[in-house]
Structure 1
Amino acid sequence: MTDYKCQLYLISPLEVGGDFPVRLEEALTAGPVAAFQFRVKGIDQHKAAELAAPLQEICARHDVAFIVNDSISLAKRIGADGVHLGQEDGDPREARAILGRDAQIGVTCHNSRHLAMEAAEAGADYVAFGAFFPTSTKEVKHQAEIETVELWSQFTEVPCVAIGGITTQNAGEVIDAGADFIAVSSGVWNHADGPAAAVKAFNALLA
């Protein structure tokens, strides 16, 4: 963790094999990162656990929280630092019972402060709003407004993550609105100058 008011939260691409561990190492060596979300789709849990192992080791070495997307059972299996739940992926209370009191539990809340309040009341450690900008990482079904972050950060203590199409060009908007974390995927992994340059550029904004 850093002393920055807003921190960087990395989300993996869907392909995390091949040279991705090397790229993750480069990114985490380049500057402070609060958390890394392991997000893979369409593979069985055994394969997912295999892919996660080297990435989890890299995150541990850099003191970066390793968060599993969607799957409470995978998070439990590999001893992850936490889980990020979509609205259809289970209840934070269930995740807490299975993963323990120290687990970091996040919940996707789209553009809804009502859903965010429900998640917070159920024990979520953070809520995520988005997508704020066009993104190629996933199909955007919910468009979030900057005002949602502003109001949330003014009136609640539970941290919020801004997600969706965030780049070094537009990150300032959600940072200024009071987001506690900015979640970035393609903005780092597809950066023209590589992931290390991207992390340095984002941290320059956050500082």
Structure 2
Amino acid sequence: MRPQLYLITPPKIELSAFADQLRAALSGGDVACLQLRLKDVPDAEVVGAADVLMPICHEHDVALLINDRPDLAKEVDADGVHVGQEDASYTDARALLGPTRIVGVTCHDSRHLAMEAAEQGADYVAFGAFFPTTTKQTKSTAEVDLLQWWDEIMEVPCVAIGGITVDNCAPLLDAGTDFLAVAGGIWDHAEGPKAAVEQFNKVIDQCETDRAAKVKAEKAAAREARRT
């Protein structure tokens, strides 16, 4: 599966202006989903934002996930929810949203938490933070080899998160992440969100090309070794 972008909203937004930013971002290329992550706002503000942003997402075949709150995800009929270790449990979120909605789980840098979430049925696990970030206070620092380990042993997709930019994302892709979760690297990009999405997708495509070439070379070397 080709890796994809997983966008995260800023914790505070001016809805009309952000809707325009989102339209611009989604016009820039392939995006898997948008996580609506508003902090310290009334529930009504989250619901209102979802009502505006979800149609924009769906016009581009992009899923909308609600951060932390499976109850609000159900209320607005979102595509799913992302839960942290201090939020609603995976079990509670799944029971509330049913079998067809996306439920992803924060696992920090913990292999144990990730294995547990995968065994319970999580649709993805999220590892991080891989780089310093100002978007949220980080509780763990993850190493790139965590992604490689997960890619080698598990089928459940993984998300890399934390301070990811166009300039530093290639090692995460090379290690096997399925999604790049990006906030500031999109919305604060000097050339705007559309250019950011375009540039991220160029890096993704290049890494996929390089990976395919590496696999081809390894197979050729193996065939040569068998002949000698």
Q: Establish whether TM, by shorter chain, passes 0.5.
A: yes
Cα distance in structure 1, aligned partners of 2:155 and 2:139 = 27
What is the match of residue 82 of structure 2? 84
Offset from partner CA, 1:77-98 (integer Å, 9 cap, x none) = 1000000000011221221111
Equivalent position to 2:192, from 187, 191, 194: 194
Offset from partner CA, 1:124-163 (integer Å, 9 cap, x none) = 0000000000111011220001011110110011100000
Scaled by the length of structure 2, the TM-score of the pair is 0.87
Cα distance in structure 2, aligned partners of 1:50 and 1:24 = 15
What is the match of residue 63 of structure 1? 61
SS of corresponding position for 2:198: helix
Scaled by the length of structure 1, the TM-score of the pair is 0.96
Offset from partner CA, 1:68-123 (integer Å, 9 cap, x none) = 00001110110000000000112212211111111111000000110001111121
Task: Answer 1 or 2: which has greater helix percent.
Answer: 2
What is the match of residue 151 of structure 2? 153
The 5-angstrom pairing of residues 117-132 of structure 1 reads 117-132=115-130
Q: Which amino acid aligns with 2:98?
A: G
What is the match of residue 102 of structure 1? 100
Question: How many residue pairs were aligned?
Answer: 204
Q: List structure 1 segments (4+ residues) > 2 angstroms apart after TM superposition.
A: none
Question: Cα RMSD between the aligned structures?
Answer: 0.9
SS of corresponding position for 2:81: strand
What is the match of residue 44 of structure 2? 46
Cα distance in structure 2, aligned partners of 1:169 and 1:31 = 18
The alignment-based identity, stated in percent, is 52
Cα distance in structure 2, aligned partners of 1:56 and 1:14 = 17
State the Cα distance separating 1:40 from its structure 2 match. Answer: 0.3
What is the match of residue 206 of structure 1? 204
Q: Which amino acid aligns with 1:106?
A: G
Cα distance in structure 2, aligned partners of 1:18 and 1:80 = 20
Q: Which amino acid aligns with 2:10?
A: P
Equivalent position to 1:8, from 2, 5, 9: 5
Cα distance in structure 1, aligned partners of 2:2 and 2:175 = 12
Unaligned runs of 5+ in 2: 206-228
State the Cα distance separating 1:15 from its structure 2 match. Answer: 2.2
Unaligned runs of 5+ in 1: none
Q: Which amino acid aligns with 2:71?
A: S
* 2:19 is the counterpart of 1:36: no
Cα distance in structure 2, aligned partners of 1:46 and 1:52 = 10
Cα distance in structure 1, aligned partners of 2:21 and 2:45 = 20
What is the match of residue 134 of structure 2? 136
Cα distance in structure 2, aligned partners of 1:135 and 1:128 = 15
Cα distance in structure 1, aligned partners of 2:157 and 2:100 = 16
